[in-house]
Amino acid sequence: MNIEDQVALLMQGTEYGDEQLKHNMANELRQRLIEAEKEHRPLRVYCGFDPRTSDLHLGHTVPMRKLRQFQELGHEVTFVVGSFTSLIGDPSDKDKLRPRLTKQEVEHNAQTYSEQAYKILDRNKTRIRFNSEWLSELTFAELIDLASNFTLQQFITRENFRKRWENGDPIYLHETFYAIMQGFDAHALKTDVQVGGTDQLFNIVTAARKIMTSQGDKPNIAIILGILPGTDGEIKMSKSLGNHIPLLSTPEDMYGKIMSIPDKAMGLYMRLITRWAPSRIDEIEKGLKSGDLHPRDAKMSIAREIVAIFYTDEIALAAEKSFEKIFQQKDIPEKIPVYTLLPDQTVVEVLVAAGLVTSKSEGRRMIEQKGVKLDGDTLNRFDAPFPHSGVLQVGKRKFIRIN
């Protein structure tokens, strides 16, 4: 792949909120690739992951996909576990103080996080580092020296801090350390490229580049990626909002949830999650615009591709056949409401809570009449624990997706 094709692929899915900044980053990336080629060395690329949860969803994998693209082009990728920064909690996308994790919580989450990351990253080509290696060794004098590169105004004017300031909500001093610590990560690793989401724009473009320059390093190049919307197509994918697609979903459930996303979200899913090159995505979007390609067929290709990433091509095809059997052959609508299953709910409790029946007695009657199905299979016991996620059908016309 020539330099221009590499730049096009690596800048795919990036968002900076400023076209000039995006242009500048693309130019710096191009120049760094040219220099690395002349020096016969790979670029040093990293992304930091704060293991605040062990339950990952597709949104968490967006920067991992970009790291994999760098790996496939022969560059050196480091997966940094925020074992030290997690003890603070990144305030970048929050309008309130994040709870601080214990060291034990971080260690537990880090193990499961990295294992799930290998569904995308090449295990044999990925370096794992913990930022406690260098951040725990910083002296107070060194922290003062790093902090002298910033003003309080730079932090207070950030949107999330500004909102809290205006609302009279507390902003704790330790929260300002996060960007400095992340910037020091980049210096400690002597990186060429740092990958992150739009919520990391300040941490990477301002903090990391400033700290690297102050330490005599060439500033790293910021690859800032868009945020993946959830199944509603509007809001950032989040488990708490119930619009997420877990990595540990069954293939059938993952396929079905991807098919439920609005058409307008397909472009982001293609650019941020799939393995497809810019040329293929352009071809699909041209087909959609001209009408030569039906949105349903495009979305099926996306769903099949994403399931194949986390399972296999054969399993993805089987999930597609299952979807066709359940939806297309039984006239089930593709866009149906979603209900998030609560712990220990019974079948009849789900029917009532999801609004499919008006009372438990009506629910029991529908079950006794063989009128309740999950993914096409009839449910026979009203008092049994709800079996699993899937498409729940009551009668002929009521459908809901159970997460």
91, 175 in Cβ contact below 8 A? yes
Mean pLDDT of 321-347: 79
Answer whether residue 14 shows pLDDT above 70. Answer: yes
pLDDT (tens digit per residue) in 102-112: 777 777 777 77
**In which band, very low, low, confident or very high, does the pLDDT at 99 lie, cut at 50, 70 and 90?**
low
> Following DSSP, what letter does each residue of 158-202 receive, concatenated?
SHHHHHHHHTT----GGGGHHHHHHHHHHHHHT-SEEEEEGGGHI
Q: In what order do the strands lie in the sheet with 372-374?
A: 338-339, 398-402, 390-394, 372-374, 377-378
Give the pLDDT confidence score for residue 50 in this predicted structure.
79
Strand partners, 159: none
Contacts of 169 (CB under 8 A, 6+ apart): 95, 96, 163
**In which band, very low, low, confident or very high, does the pLDDT at 331 lie, cut at 50, 70 and 90?**
low
What's the fold here for domain 338-402?
Answer: 3.10.290
134, 187 in Cβ contact below 8 A? no
Give the pLDDT confidence score for residue 54 in this predicted structure.
67
pLDDT (tens digit per residue) in 112-126: 777 778 889 999 999
Give the pLDDT confidence score for residue 397 in this predicted structure.
74
Answer whether residue 98 shows pLDDT above 60. Answer: no
* CATH code, 3-225: 3.40.50.620
Rounded Cα–Cα distance for residues 156 and 45 (Å): 30
- The residue type found at 236 is K
pLDDT (tens digit per residue) in 291-306: 999 999 999 999 999 9
Give the pLDDT confidence score for residue 164 in this predicted structure.
84
What does the angle CA 368 – CA 370 – CA 375 come to, to the nearest 5 degrees?
130
Mean pLDDT of 150-161: 84
Q: What is the pTM of this model?
A: 0.78
- Percent of the chain having pLDDT more than 90? 55
Rounded Cα–Cα distance for residues 99 and 102 (Å): 10
DSSP 384: S
- The residue type found at 241 is L
- Cβ density class 278-308: b for 16+ within 10 Å, e for less: eeebeebeeebeeeebeeeebbbbbbbbbbb
Contacts of 386 (CB under 8 A, 6+ apart): 341, 345, 346, 347, 349, 350, 402
Answer whether residue 383 shows pLDDT above 80. Answer: yes
Rounded Cα–Cα distance for residues 3 and 8 (Å): 9
pLDDT (tens digit per residue) in 194-218: 999 998 899 999 999 999 999 999 9
266, 233 in Cβ contact below 8 A? no
Answer whether residue 90 shows pLDDT above 70. Answer: no
Give the pLDDT confidence score for residue 334 in this predicted structure.
64
Give the domain ranges of the chain. Answer: 3-225, 251-328, 338-402
Rounded Cα–Cα distance for residues 61 and 141 (Å): 37
Rounded Cα–Cα distance for residues 89 and 67 (Å): 23
* CATH code, 251-328: 1.10.240.10
Answer whether residue 285 shows pLDDT above 90. Answer: yes
Give the pLDDT confidence score for residue 72 in this predicted structure.
96
**In which band, very low, low, confident or very high, does the pLDDT at 95 lie, cut at 50, 70 and 90?**
very low
